[in-house]
Structure 1
Amino acid sequence: MSPSWITVFLDFASDGFEEGVGFWAAVTGYDVSASRGDTDQFATLLPANGDAFLRVQRLDEGTDRIHLDLHTPDPRAAADAAAGLGASVVAEEGLGYVVLRSPGGLTFCFVPHAAATRPGPTAWPGGQSSLIDQVCIDVPSSSYERECEFWRDLTGWEPRASAVSTDFSSLLRPDGQPFRILLQRLGEEAGPTRAHLDWATTDRAAETERHVALGARVVDTRPVWTVLADPNGRAYCLTDRDPETGMLG
């Protein structure tokens, strides 16, 4: 069942869609594709090299969130297997993909689209390079062990203990995949599982300055990462990990 590719969707509340897409296009340096969907609700952020791995969606209702697309040749069979691991099927749209939720409530889809070439980091005028390369799944403490087991079994990726904190664990990304998966145990006891994006950068201070100039704000600064929020309030992190390898130096 291991996915051949992972795409992250940035899902925006309707009233923040245009501003949100504009910010993420500017901060990544990626072009935005033509809109598609019945109400022009979908678009793709197009990297300068490699295959697309970030897409955007305008929601009919609800607040900003992230969901994952897991690429597989047979979405229906993958959905059946995921249900056996504890996922719940939300919808099968008749378009060849299946929408599910993890045991903790994180939305994800199985899709059949092919992709294979991981984009490289972007070099910026300040001298640093950066790349969005990690999705962090944020899990309340009561659900953490169950959610870790689910994503390990769903992807077939090998778990790896964190050198930073016992509240983190990761899944070892196969070569060529655009995203690492990190699971974070939250301080809260209960609630829904959600997710945020992490960047890897060679110079966190310079990268923070660049993001702030484009409209982000700093929320918190830690020893190896900085938490920012985009103009709509969506949280994400800049980390000291190497953009090529995804690892701390």
Structure 2
Amino acid sequence: MIARFKDLCLDAADPLALGGFWARMLDGDVADAGDGDTRVDPRSARSPAESIWVNKVPEPRVGRPRVHLDLRLADPEPAALLAQGARLVREPDDDAGRWVLADPEGNEFCAFPADANSRPGPFQLVVDALDPAAQATWWAGVLGGTIEHGSTTSSVFGAAGFPWEYWVFDGVPEPKTVKNRLHWDVELADPEPMALIAAGATLLREPLDEAHWWWILADPEGNEFCAFAPAPTG
């Protein structure tokens, strides 16, 4: 294991407003993260990795999102989410028994009907991929876990630190062309990301200063992620 999953980060034009929206979606609290950023902490979280950092960026959202969360509803339909500000993008159909919704800045996410065997809230992270099997294999090599292959998807479960049921890589025909608005962070096993780079990650940026003390890297299909040195112990 080279690293463990740390948390999610969401780009935003207005972190306070978008953080408030996601706090309503996830039954969470909004914390001031400094520098105009916020953090959403779900009240029912079983791990700090379920928090979402909402970070201010100058550029608007462009193109279709390649990373999104799937949520399990508490009710048969998403009326409560729509009442809290979500926008309906697509109703369920014969091929997909889920609603596609969007937040106020246009970031899409999926809502699935209530399930007696699953708690409400996020249950999987979905990433578009040209080669789902290769992507799942690469990330399982980084974080550990077991891979399940489907006809058009490959999923990782049991990855170190990953707080939800599945990490799904969903096959799509188009390559990544723009920066992801939603990305994940990892905590390294070693003080520097040399093992990640040796495994095939691309280094995009070194730590800048004491306030920006993480590395920015990309996986083999160009998905950006941040890598943090291990937290001090003792």
What is the TM-score normalised by the length of structure 1? 0.46
Structure scoring higher RCO (CA < 8 A, sep ≥ 6) equals 2
Provide TM-score, normalisation by structure 2. 0.48
